[in-house]
Amino acid sequence: MEIKLLDIAHGRSGDKGSAANIGIIAYNDEGYEIIRKYLTPEKVQEHFKGICKGEVERYELPNIRALNFILNDTLGGGGTVSLKFDAQGKTLAAALLRMTLHIDD
Amino acid sequence: MKEKIRIASGQGFWGDLIDAPVDQVTKGDIDYLVMDYLAEVTMSILQKQKHKNPEHGYARDIPELMHRILPVCREKNIKIITNGGGVNPTACANEVLNIARELNIPDIKIAVVLGDDIIDRIDEIVSSGYELNNMETGDSIISVKDELLSANVYFGAFPIVEALEKGADIVITGRTTDTGLTLAPMIYEFGWDKNNYDLMSAGTVAGHILECGGQASGGNLMADWQNVENLAEIGFPIAEAYPNGEVIITKHENTGGKVSFETIAEQLVYEIGDPTEYITPDCVVDFTSIKLEDLGNNRVKVYNVKGKKETEFYKVSISYCDGYKAVGSLTYSWPDTLKKAKAADQILRKRLENLGLQFDEIKTDLVGFNATHENIAKVLEEDCINEITLRIAVRSHDKKAVTRFGQEIAPLILTGPPSVTGFAGGRPKPSRVVAYWPALIPKSVVQPEVKILEWK
C-alpha cells in the first residue's frame, strides 16, 4: 500500500550551519508508527540524493510523534556563504513531504 | 512569590513585525516583554556600524519602539528584556534613558549586560592557551585572524537574573541566548535553584518556543495552514509560567493566528540537533521528555521537561569576511521558457570564462521551475512553463571578478535569448560573504558584567 507522507505528517525545517534540520511530525499515533518504521535515514538520504552531500542522521521524539533529521553538508556552506536560493533550508520539510511510503498491508 | 507570570515574545528577529511588541503590551496583561533581535549575521553588521560610529552597534528599532511602549509598560509594570543591545548595549541603554526622560519617566532603571563581546580580546585569549578552534573543522582561529568581523560569547539567563535582582525595569544585553531571555524572569520571580536542571530546562523550552515570535502562534505552519484565522493580525506567543515549571503557551484574546499542539510541535523541532542534548549555557535539555497538552482555546500546556547540568563551556560565535558575492536575475517567458533560461545561463558562463575570471562557485537556480526543491521537484512540461526567473549567484575572493559579473547580467537582455524582462535596480553589487566560526571557550575565561544605568 502506498501512503503520501504529506497526508499523514507535517513539519518544519531550518539551518544548522551547512547542515539542514527537518522535523517531521505525524498527525496521530498510527501515523507516527508508520514514519518511525518506514521513514528511515536511508530513505531520506536517497530522497535528497544530489542535495544532501553528507550523512543523514535520524532522532526520534515519540513524545510529540516526531522524527528529527539532520542532513549534513546540504546548504552549500550555510549562513551568508551559501549561494543557494533556499540557503536556510526553509523549504526542505516540504521537499521531504513529497515522498511516498510503500508500507506493508 | 507570584503564582504565575506571563512572558510575551515581541520579536522573532530584527526586522520582524514592528507593531508586535506594541500589541503584546497593549492587548492584554503581561509581566515581561522579551525581544530577540540577534542572528549570527546581525553581529557582524552591528560591529561594522559601531566601527563607523561609536554610538551605534545596536538594534536601531529600539529607540522608536521604546517611545511607543515605555509609558504603558510603566503604567502596567511590564519589564522589558532584549538582546538588541548588540555590540553596544551601553549606547542603546543611554538612548533609552534619554527617551524615558523625554517621556517624563526619569526614574527608570536600565541594566546592561556586558562582557560577551571579545573581538578585542582574541590575541589575549589565544595567547593564554585557548585556541578557539573551529568546532566543525578543527582549524585554528589564527588562519582567519585578519578577517574577523565579530566575536561574541553566548551568555545565558543568569546575568539577566542579576540585573532583575538589582531592580532593573529594562534589561539590555549583547549576545544572550534567545532562550535565556525567557528563562531569566522565571528564575528571578520563582526563586528557582540554578542546580534544578529540570526547572532550568522547563524555562529554556519556553524560550525555544517564544524565540521565533509568530512562528509558534500560527505563522509558517504546515499543518492545515489554510485554516489559521486572521494571520494579518497575528498574536505573538505568550508563556504563562508557573513555579513548578509548567508553562502554558497562549496569545492575547482577539488576535489572529493560533496556538495548538501542531503550532508548538513544529516550533519544538525547529533548528534542533540531537533532541536529547539541547545545549544552552544554563542546562542541557532533553526534548524527548517534553509533554504537550492542547487545552483548547489557544492554550497548550508544556510540562514534564527534564534536563541535566550545563557544560563547562560557552559557545562563541565568531564571524569573518570570506570573500564577496553577488546575485543577478532575469525572467524569461513562454515559449521555450526552460530552454531560453538554460541558454542564457550557458552564454553568461561562457562570457565569464572568456574573461578569465576566477570564482569559488557559480550557482544557477531556475526560480519557478525547481529552485527550492531542485531535483526532487516535479518536472513540468516545457509548454506548461509560463515563466522562469534565472537566478545566478557567484562567490569569489577576487572582488573585481564579482563586480564584473554584475556588469554581465543586463547585456543578456539585448544579446541573449528573447522574451526577457525583470532586470531592475541596477547592476548587482558585490557584498561581503560573512562566514561563521563556531568555537567553545571555558566559562572561567569570560565574565559577564551587569551595570545599572539611571539618571542621577
Report the run of H or E that residue B184 belongs to, with start and end: helix B178-190
Q: Stretch B163-181: mean pLDDT, rounded?
A: 98
Nearest neighbour of A95 by CB, restricted to B322, B373, B391: B373
Dump pLDDT digits (tens) for B121-145: 999 999 999 989 999 889 999 889 9
Angle B169-B174-B177 from CA coordinates, rounded to 5°:
90
Chain A closest-CA separation from residue B430 CA (Å): 13
- A80 — pLDDT class (breaks 50, 70, 90): confident
Report the run of H or E that residue B123 belongs to, with start and end: helix B122-127
Dump pLDDT digits (tens) for B83-119: 999 999 999 999 999 999 999 998 999 999 999 999 9
User: Does the structure show a pLDDT above 70 at B456?
Assistant: no
Interchain contact, A51 vs B363, CB within 8 Å: no
Helix (H, G, I), strand (E, B) or coil at B449: strand
Please, where are the H alpha helices in B27-84?
40-52, 61-76
Cβ B286 vs Cβ B354: under 8 Å = no
Strands B170-173, B110-114: pairing kind: parallel
DSSP single-letter state for residue A38:
H
Place of cell 585578519: B146
Helix (H, G, I), strand (E, B) or coil at A10: strand
- pLDDT of B258 reads 98
CA distances from B332 to A86, B273, B303, B405, B428 (A): 21, 40, 53, 19, 18
Q: State the CB neighbour count (10 A cutoff) for residue A26.
A: 23
User: Does the structure show a pLDDT above 80 at B455?
Assistant: no
Interchain contact, B322 vs A25, CB within 8 Å: no
Q: Stretch B359-368: mean pLDDT, rounded?
A: 98
Sign of the C-alpha dihedral computed for residues B354, B358, B361 and B367 taken in this order: negative
- A48 — pLDDT class (breaks 50, 70, 90): very high
Nearest neighbour of A79 by CB, restricted to B378, B394, B435: B435
Q: State the CB neighbour count (10 A cutoff) for residue B456.
A: 3
- pLDDT of A64 reads 98
Chain B closest-CA separation from residue A68 CA (Å): 7
Nearest to B433 by CA among B328, B327, B357, B320: B320
Angle B123-B124-B126 from CA coordinates, rounded to 5°:
65
Domain ranges of chain A: 2-102
C-alpha grid cell for residue B321? 569576511
Chain A residues close to B269, C-beta within 8 Å = 11-12, 21, 23-25, 61, 64, 66, 68
The one-letter code for the residue type at B69 is: I
ipTM exceeds 0.90: yes
User: Does the structure show a pLDDT above 70 at B411?
Assistant: yes
- A105 — pLDDT class (breaks 50, 70, 90): confident
Chain B residues close to A56, C-beta within 8 Å = none
Distance of alpha carbon B48 from alpha carbon B329, whole angstroms: 28
A93: closest chain B residue by CA:
B222
* Size of chain A, expressed as the number of residues it contains: 105
Dump pLDDT digits (tens) for B200-224: 999 999 999 999 999 999 999 999 9
- pLDDT of B423 reads 80
Report the run of H or E that residue B26 belongs to, with start and end: helix B20-26
Nearest neighbour of B322 by CB, restricted to A51, A59, A81: A81
Domains, chain B, in order of start with CATH, read 5-116+154-311 (no CATH), 322-436 (3.30.70)
Q: What is the arrangement of strands in the sheet containing B284-286, beginning at the earlier edge strand?
A: B278-279, B284-286, B306-308
Nearest neighbour of A61 by CB, restricted to B287, B433, B434: B287
Nearest to B262 by CA among B183, B212, B209: B209
Chain A closest-CA separation from residue B440 CA (Å): 15
Interchain contact, A98 vs B376, CB within 8 Å: yes
- pLDDT of B440 reads 96
B370: closest chain A residue by CA:
A85
- B416 — pLDDT class (breaks 50, 70, 90): very high
Weakest-pLDDT range from B26-35, B45-54, B207-216, B266-275: B45-54
- pLDDT of A78 reads 84
Whether the ω angle into residue B418 lies within 30 degrees of 0, i.e. cis, is: no
Per-residue burial over A30-65, b = 16 or more CB atoms within 10 Å of its CB, e = otherwise = ebbebbbeebebebbbebbeebbeeebbbbebebbb
Phi, psi angle pair for B433, to nearest 5°: -90, 115
The chain A residues in contact with chain B (CB within 8 A) are: 10-12, 14-17, 21, 23-25, 27, 47-51, 59-66, 68, 70, 76-81, 83-86, 91, 93-95, 97-98
- B41 — pLDDT class (breaks 50, 70, 90): confident
- pLDDT of B375 reads 96
Distance of alpha carbon B211 from alpha carbon B214, whole angstroms: 9
- B295 — pLDDT class (breaks 50, 70, 90): very high
- pLDDT of B89 reads 98
User: Does the structure show a pLDDT above 80 at B424?
Assistant: no
Query: Mean pLDDT across chain B, nearest whole number?
Result: 96
Helix (H, G, I), strand (E, B) or coil at B391: strand
Interchain contact, B438 vs A17, CB within 8 Å: yes
Distance of alpha carbon B285 from alpha carbon B370, whole angstroms: 38
Dump pLDDT digits (tens) for B251-287: 999 999 999 999 999 999 999 999 999 999 999 999 9
